[in-house]
Amino acid sequence: MSKATRRAERVRRFALVAALLLSGTACKDFLQVDNLMMPDRERATSNPEDLEALIGGIFYPTFYNAWNEGTHATNLWPPAASEQTATLNSTGDFQFAFELQEPRRAHDNTTDISAGAGPHGPRNFWSGVGNAATQAYNGLIALNEGAVIMDGDVDVTDRAWAYALFMRGWTWGYGGLVFDRFHILPETTPLPADPAALRDLTLSSLRPYPEVIEAAVASLEEAIEVAQQNPSVVRFPTLSESPLWFGTATPVSNTQFIQMANTLAARLLVLSARTPAERAQLDWARVRRFTQNGLTEDFEVQRTAQRTSLYLLRIQNNDPSYTSNQRLDYRMIGLADQSGAYQNWINSPIQDRTRFDIVTPDRRITGPQGPTSGGAYTRYRVDNNGFALDRGAYLFSAYQWARHAKRNNLEGDGLVDTGAQSGVHPHITVDENNLLAAEAEYYLGNRAAAAELVNITRQRSHTIDGVEYPGLPPVTAAGVPMVDGQCVPRTDFTGECGDLLTAIRYERMLELTGLDPIRGYADSRGFGILADGSLLQWPVPGNVLELYDVEYYTYGGVGTEFGAAFAPVTGP
């Protein structure tokens, strides 16, 4: 085969798969197309009921399965963050574990990797989030062409408009949080029939993450505008009333929807920063404006046997036969320790680190009985179920997140009943809005206002089974006070009482654990607490690079441009 013939074949092959990718399916391994059950655009948009089903199904199952239910996403990003830790000790999980071992290595972004391998995680996420964005694209095209959706005698087209814009913003935004580049294709851009033109469009739509985040936020702002103009229509039923939309236990009102979009926009802006230096340079006045109109009531989805969360299972399960159990990372909860054990751990060589008990007055982490009792948000584990010593004792932890199970009265033995199939699961919250606002106030120079926002969760008490778990003393503009010889949080390396920015970091990481697998990773990098060598962003997946005839590249590893160095942010 001549060079010209091979080139023509690549163009033909590219056009075929790119057309599939941009019309509602996505490629996994080369020419292996998943999600064939997704309705094609013509059929799905030819009548109003199918169009509403197409748009109303963006969050669940398409987007939801990409970031909350998929094995690869839930095994990868929580431990990649300084939020959870795991050894992933089955033989099949070796490549997952290999990429999470410390110091971390460059990501294997080669084309030919097994679909069951850890490095496949980012490409599954790329595919799933891309599918959700494509559903929004197809739905918005139909609406843009004049489709009308009726609910009896009521025109509810604008509900679909607002929802599609909201979900497009969320999907684009999460693509931008994870990858260095992601596809941005507005509904006003038609797909050309010519293969060469389609190739050019596909490559040109692959935009760098700052542009992706801006496009995502703009889409959320469009959703807000549509909702504000149509308050009687843009509201969403519960899961018991409809399998479409958000799947909540209580209706999402027009006001709550607008507030959700504002808080989500603030989240995307703050979490988009790849480093503490980049985060410090954000437009914090803009972030504050979004939070000023943010949530006053949590956005929570209903868990059922059909709508489970593998993420909740991973981070709460302690079944000894389960190989993917996760525990809380000491880089998140260690700042609460008063004994010096955390400073000894973080200052020791990796191979010398082992699990330790935390001595703390923070009752979210330990209970009234002391270091070996569970707190309001945790279970203490005497065992190491699901952890393999040969994959690194430094990955072991004595504490497991249990807030969802405790919130839904599923305490039990904590082996299997984690609440992954029951209760309500918050994804965007009032506490998040307040803690994003706290960082905005901090960088805008309003330290007293920042401290006041931090203290909302910090001073909150919790009552579990009749036992009170009191809050902590308030922080001030000057930082964390010493009370009775104790202060929470302390700094990582020296154990001094933390400044206000350290308190913001500690509070947000602890309070927002469990919202979703991506948030903790993105927040960890902005706070400078990713493990040495961790990826600050993921490359376009290798199978996509080959498909697009783009040169191979990757990220990660100690001393590389996009390899993290553990350097927690502190204030001046």
Q: Where are the domains of the chain?
A: 3-308+536-547, 311-420+430-514
Q: What is the pLDDT of residue 28?
A: 37
61 preceded by a cis bond (ω within 30 of 0): yes
* CA atoms of 254 and 233, how far apart (whole Å): 8
Query: Residue 314: which residues within 8 A CB-CB, separation 6 or more?
Result: 74, 75, 78, 84, 86, 324, 325, 326
For residue 76, pLDDT over 80 is answered with: yes
pLDDT tens track for 59-68: 999 999 998 8
pLDDT band at 412 (very low <50, low <70, confident <90, very high): low
pLDDT band at 413 (very low <50, low <70, confident <90, very high): low
For residue 457, pLDDT over 60 is answered with: yes
* CA atoms of 195 and 15, how far apart (whole Å): 5
- 8 Å CB contact between 306 and 267: no
Residue 532 CB coordination number (10 Å):
16
* CA atoms of 244 and 159, how far apart (whole Å): 12
Q: Which of 26-35, 270-279, 414-423 has the lowest mean pLDDT?
A: 26-35
* CA atoms of 496 and 338, how far apart (whole Å): 10
- CB-hemisphere CA count at 13 Å for 40? 4
Cα torsion 39, 182, 515, 327 to 10°: value is: 110
* CA atoms of 425 and 249, how far apart (whole Å): 10
The CA radius of gyration of the chain, in Å to the nearest whole number, is: 23
Phi, psi of 497 (to 5 degrees): -60, 135
In this predicted model, which residue has the larger pLDDT, 18 or 208?
208
pLDDT band at 448 (very low <50, low <70, confident <90, very high): very high
Residue 40 CB coordination number (10 Å):
13
Query: Residue 369: which residues within 8 A CB-CB, separation 6 or more?
Result: none
In the predicted model, what is the mean pLDDT of residues 142-162? 96
Handedness of CA 361, 363, 366, 368 (dihedral sign): positive
Residue with token string 């690194």: 392
- 8 Å CB contact between 9 and 543: no
Query: Residue 295: which residues within 8 A CB-CB, separation 6 or more?
Result: 256, 259, 260, 262, 263, 428, 429, 430, 432, 433
In the predicted model, what is the mean pLDDT of residues 246-250? 97
State the pTM of this model.
0.93
For residue 91, pLDDT over 60 is answered with: no
Q: What is the pLDDT of residue 416?
A: 55
In this predicted model, which residue has the larger pLDDT, 42 or 440?
440
Residue % of the chain over a pLDDT of 70: 88
**Helix count and strand count (H, E) for the chain:** 22, 16
pLDDT tens track for 526-542: 999 999 999 999 999 99
In the predicted model, what is the mean pLDDT of residues 213-236? 99
In this predicted model, which residue has the larger pLDDT, 178 or 27?
178
Q: What is the pLDDT of residue 414?
A: 53
Q: Which of 51-65, 246-260, 409-423 has the lowest mean pLDDT?
A: 409-423
pLDDT tens track for 278-322: 999 999 999 999 999 999 999 999 999 899 999 999 999 998 888
- 8 Å CB contact between 399 and 364: no
- 8 Å CB contact between 230 and 46: no
Handedness of CA 513, 514, 516, 518 (dihedral sign): positive
pLDDT band at 323 (very low <50, low <70, confident <90, very high): confident
* CA atoms of 373 and 358, how far apart (whole Å): 10
Residue % of the chain over a pLDDT of 90: 77
Distance linking the first and last C-alpha atoms of the chain: 64
pLDDT tens track for 480-494: 999 999 999 999 999
- 8 Å CB contact between 506 and 423: no
Q: What is the pLDDT of residue 93?
A: 63
* CA atoms of 310 and 61, how far apart (whole Å): 13
Q: What is the pLDDT of residue 117?
A: 60
* CA atoms of 378 and 358, how far apart (whole Å): 12
* CA atoms of 267 and 275, how far apart (whole Å): 15
Average pLDDT, the chain: 90
Handedness of CA 444, 447, 451, 452 (dihedral sign): negative
Cα torsion 269, 106, 387, 328 to 10°: value is: -20
Residue of 522, 503, 524 whose CA lies nearest to 571: 503
The pair of three-digit structure tokens given for residue 110, joined into one six-digit string: 């080669």
pLDDT band at 81 (very low <50, low <70, confident <90, very high): very high
What is the DSSP annotation of 57-100? Answer: TIIIIIIHIIIII-HHHHHHHHHHTTSEE----SGGGHHHHHHH
Residue with token string 């706070």: 527
